[in-house]
């Protein structure tokens, strides 16, 4: 049985290599190859002896995901990948480039999702399975390789500066990260490790539907990961109609946990609010939301709803979005409208469901 290398931290790598009769320092070399050099084949690891490279080729795997399809949008600045996981489930992740200096990867932490939010395509799938730590990491490594290899070419074609590395991670893809907390957190630690991938914690954001135990746990962790909370309604009746999780953790419970996070970290929290025409976008609800959050170290991120097939909902018209924004701001709560990316390839917020967009450009990718 092959050892999955992305599942192992340095300590576990050292233990495996010592079982193979290798000195302990080889683990540090291998770790650097995986996370700094981004080696995809043991034979590329020329600082390792040939015998060890051959053993890694026969006994270990660098990644378990199969890239089934790549789709591009926004003139190449948004790139969505469909992955096949061991066992047959599929999952998606997205790279979004914002010239001149930002490249953000939206990472999935579960195949499907059990939370059942009515406006979200992923929620319609139900939970298929949790994604392993190494599978979370592999999504990130894939796009880091892509940027290193193609940033210069893309910059030349578009005549704008393009970063040659990932600058930000958002755990906002398929699934609820806090429902897969341990695997997700191990991936965060590995991606943050200065001896490895070395992405600062403040460049990572996790989004939750409001699992309060996860929020409180994150507040007590040693890394200052940014927190985004899917709110979508300012009162319990409406929020429960849109998000079944509210029946387990209502708004009072949720805001208590958020206040704890702010107290422990002194970091601003983002509240995500998808706007649905005639459902949660009225001036009265904007005023309620402003009153609910007034005085909190937070900001509201308004998200025009993105189409999900088979869902009898409509996105709020632009004038209603702007009116809602003004209503929240009137209470002194910072409020912005999210810039949309990747809608035409179903890569935008709430659209990830591992189902291709029928009109989108598709590139088949074999590894």
Residue 1 is predicted with a pLDDT of 59
Asked if 32 and 3 count as a contact pair (C-beta separation under 8 A), the reply is no
Closest to 317 measured CA to CA, from 329, 304, 327, 336: 304
Res 357: pLDDT: 40
Cβ-contact 335, 325 below 8 angstroms: yes
Pair 114, 125: CB distance under 8 Å = no
Residue-level pLDDT at 47: 96
| 3-state per-residue secondary structure call for the chain | CCEEHHHCCHHHHHHHHHHCCCCCHHHHHHHHHHHCCCCCCHHHCCCCCHHHHHHHHHHEECCCCEEEEEEEEHHHCEEEEEEECCCCCEEEEEEEEECCCEEEEECCCEEEECCCCCCCCHHHHEEEEECCHHHHHHHHHHHHHHHHHHHHHHHHHHCCCCCCCCCEEEECCCCCHHHHHHHHHHHHHHHHCCCCCCCCHHHEEEEECCCHHHHHHHHCCCCCCEEEEECCCCCHHHHHHHCHHHHCCCHHHHHHHHHHHHHHHCCCEEEEEEEECCCCCCHHHHHHHHHHHCCCCEEEEEEECCCCCCCCCCECCHHHHHHHHHHHHCCCCCEEECCCCCHHHCCCCCCCCCCCCCCCCEEECCC
For residue 125, the model assigns a pLDDT of 84
Distance separating alpha carbons of residues 44 and 46, to the nearest angstrom: 6
The residue ranges of every structural domain in the chain are 3-61, 66-364
**pTM of the model as a whole:** 0.90
Tokens at 171, concatenated: 């755990």
Distance CA 144, CA 95 (A): 10
Q: What is the pLDDT of residue 340?
A: 64
Tell me, what's the pLDDT at 344?
52
| pLDDT in the model for residue 121 | 79
Q: Are strands 226-230 and 269-275 parallel, antiparallel or unpaired?
A: parallel
C-alpha span between 162 and 138 (Å, rounded): 22
pLDDT at 351: 43
Q: Which residues of the chain have pLDDT under 70?
A: 1, 309-310, 340-367
* CATH homologous superfamily for the domain 66-364: Aldolase class I (3.20.20.70)
Q: What CATH number matches the domain at 3-61, 1.10.150.530, 3.40.50.300, 3.30.70.2190, 1.10.150.20?
A: 1.10.150.530
| Residues acting as catalytic residues | 92, 349
């Amino acid at each position: 049985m092959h050892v999955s290398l992305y599942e192992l931290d340095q300590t576990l790598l050292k233990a495996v290599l010592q079982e193979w009769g290798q000195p302990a320092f080889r683990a540090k070399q291998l770790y650097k190859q995986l996370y700094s050099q981004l080696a995809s084949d043991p034979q590329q690891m020329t600082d390792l002896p040939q015998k060890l490279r051959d053993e890694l080729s026969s006994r270990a795997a660098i990644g378990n995901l199969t890239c089934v399809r790549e789709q591009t949008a926004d003139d190449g600045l948004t790139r969505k990948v469909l992955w096949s996981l061991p066992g047959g489930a599929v999952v998606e992740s997205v790279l979004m480039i914002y010239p001149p200096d930002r490249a953000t990867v939206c990472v999935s932490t579960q195949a499907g999702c059990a939370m059942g939010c009515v406006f979200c395509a992923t929620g319609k799938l139900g939970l298929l399975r949790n994604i392993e730590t190494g599978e979370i990491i592999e999504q990130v490594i894939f796009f880091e390789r892509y940027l290193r290899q193609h940033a210069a070419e893309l910059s030349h074609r578009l005549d704008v500066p393009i970063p040659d590395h990932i600058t930000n991670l958002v755990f906002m893809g398929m699934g609820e990260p806090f429902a897969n907390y341990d695997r997700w957190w191990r991936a965060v630690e590995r991606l943050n490790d200065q001896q490895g991938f070395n992405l600062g914690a403040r460049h990572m954001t996790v989004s939750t539907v409001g699992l309060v135990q996860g929020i409180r746990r994150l507040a007590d962790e040693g890394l200052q990961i940014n927190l985004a909370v899917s709110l979508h309604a300012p009162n319990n009746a409406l929020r429960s109609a849109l998000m079944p999780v509210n029946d387990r953790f209502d708004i009072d419970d949720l805001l208590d946990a958020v206040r704890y996070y702010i107290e422990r970290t002194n970091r601003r929290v983002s509240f995500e609010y998808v706007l649905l025409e005639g459902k949660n976008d009225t001036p009265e609800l904007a005023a309620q939301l402003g009153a609910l959050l007034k005085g909190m170290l937070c900001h509201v991120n308004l998200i025009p709803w993105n189409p999900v097939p088979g869902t009898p909902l409509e996105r709020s018209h632009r004038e209603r979005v702007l009116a809602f924004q003004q209503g929240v701001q009137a209470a002194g709560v910072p409020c912005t409208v999210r810039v949309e990316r990747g809608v035409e390839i179903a890569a935008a917020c709430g659209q990830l469901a591992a189902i291709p967009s029928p009109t989108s450009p598709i590139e088949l990718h074999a590894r």
